[in-house]
Amino acid sequence: MKIGTPTEVEVGENRVAMTPDSARQLQKLGYDCAIQAGAGEKAGFSDATYQEAGVEVIEGADALWAACDIVAKVRIPTDAEMGLLRSDLTLISFFNPGGNEEGLEKAKDSGANVIAMEMVPRISRAQKMDALSSMANIAGYRAVIEAGNNFGRFFTGQVTAAGKVPPAKVLVVGAGVAGLAAIGTSTSLGAITLAFDVRPEVAEQVESMGAEFVYLDFEEEQQDGAATGGYASVQSEEFRNAQLAKFRELAPEVDIVITTALIPNREAPELWTEDMVAAMKPGSVIVDLAAEKGGNCKLTKADEKIVTDNGVTIIGYTDFPSRMAAQSSTLYATNIRHMMADLTPEKDGQINHDMEDDVIRGATVTHEGAITFPPPPPKVQAIAAKPKEVVPELTPEEKRAQEVAAFKAQTKQQVTLLGVGAALILAVGLVAPASFMQHFIVFVLSVFVGFQVIWNVSHSLHTPLMAVTNAISSIIILGALMQIGSGGGFLVVLLAAISVFFAGINIFGGFLVTRRMLAMFQKS
């Protein structure tokens, strides 16, 4: 079978669904590959590069669609492209089945099998095919770059001979894939980064990336704000009011706002109101990644950049991934290639459209002349977070009773251990010579002192385990050095020297390993 990619006809679309590298991988699955002449030019892939990869270059879209059994593209097919569908064709593309009823009907009537890339289930096994996440990652990164291009200052703070430059303060609204990409880019550029999301469980992810999570003083925020598929759910009016109040508080402080909040098949929620824009400092920038669905900012205009009367730049571009066409095409083509690998388990160049497979079934919107959207829930569900156990609050009297009971139990255990130890020492003393008991008492005291010394070593930049092993090695070295100077004979000195050698290897090796571990996290 032959898989082909046409030129994207949408104005301003620079991406392509097949790259020379992905074509080589598809050929390993047994497929012949074809591409429309000039389809990859805007993404930096020439026809000659495709030909070197063994891809057939075909002139004209009609000829390519007619010659191929599978067509992979990026954008939702136009009416003209829908007219090229046929019963023996499989189309893999973004399709927007939730808002494209007419397209679904046309695809059903044609008999073509259509796989919508945005419908890939968000389960672990399907992450390699998650084109939405691939494109959102690029959009989040590019949003920060666009903001920096329109921001008149450094992101990072600087102290120079000419004066001190404060760092920029960036607020990212929505900590999904795009939001996390924006957070990572912003922090890496040195900005003070704040982030907000209705899902409190993402706070740890945000903070692990060096940003500060914005919490609301609102009880509902502690509830699960996630909907099916990892998206944020619609929140109550009270929560929304608390959220807007927090944003109004932050508006005069932040220099850059990047909004990413979207709910599938809904208009984007309005999160940054006109009065918030008016409260921002001149020169501030808003990048609205939800512009295609109406925007999170009240003043956003899709595909435009505007400057308000108070000097705030609002960017509403809807083609952020296309502005990084080479990177976007590479990632999207890889998603397509992984989808084809699942469709071709035998690697024989023949599609096995297994509707029992969770991923294939979830992404298929028309199959053999029938509309299969919406899909059933996947059989393999994401693991839900374990609900927190509700512990009843104790009265002061009950708490005191618990503390007393715990203290008594601990005291009883200690007395028992001391009694057993004393009995053992007494039993040994009855049969052992006096010299043995002297050495034995020194040994016991040494163990106790050594234990206290070792476990009180602060691990600082080491791991706790490395701190303990270094402390043990240090005690070994001290003991061995004492034996070397004791003059106890050649064998004693030799064994002590060997102990110093190996303990030294452990200590210095530990420091070298620690240094290498820390170097992995340092910026080059």
Dihedral angle, C-alpha 15, 21, 23, 26, nearest 10 °: -120
Q: Is residue 122 flagged as an active site residue?
A: yes
The residue to which tokens 């990409």 are assigned: 181
**CA-to-CA distance for 222 and 214, rounded, in angstroms?**
13
Dihedral angle, C-alpha 518, 519, 520, 524, nearest 10 °: 140
3-state helix, strand, coil in the chain (%, to 5): 50, 10, 40
First to last CA, the chain: 47
Q: Is residue 231 flagged as an active site residue?
A: yes
For residue 236, the 8-state DSSP code is: P
| Residues with Cβ within 8 Å of residue 382, at least 6 apart in sequence | 122, 123, 230
Q: Is residue 361 flagged as an active site residue?
A: no
Catalytic residue among 62, 69, 153, 231: 231
Burial class (CB in 10 A: 0-12, 13-18, 19+), 442: exposed
**CA-to-CA distance for 453 and 476, rounded, in angstroms?**
13
3-state SS class at 25? helix
Catalytic residue among 127, 222, 233, 438: 127
| Residues with Cβ within 8 Å of residue 92, at least 6 apart in sequence | 17, 70, 71, 72, 73, 115, 117, 336, 339, 340
Tokens at 464, concatenated: 């706790």
For residue 272, the 8-state DSSP code is: B
| Residues with Cβ within 8 Å of residue 501, at least 6 apart in sequence | none
Catalytic residue among 122, 153, 240, 323: 122
Catalytic residue among 32, 130, 255, 319: 130
Q: What residues form DSSP beta bridges with 173?
A: 196, 259
**Is there a contact between 41 and 59 (Cβ–Cβ < 8 Å)?**
no
Q: What kind and span of H or E run contains 434?
A: helix 434-455
Catalytic residue among 93, 133, 322, 329: 133
The residue to which tokens 């080491």 are assigned: 462
Active site residues: 122, 127, 130, 133, 231
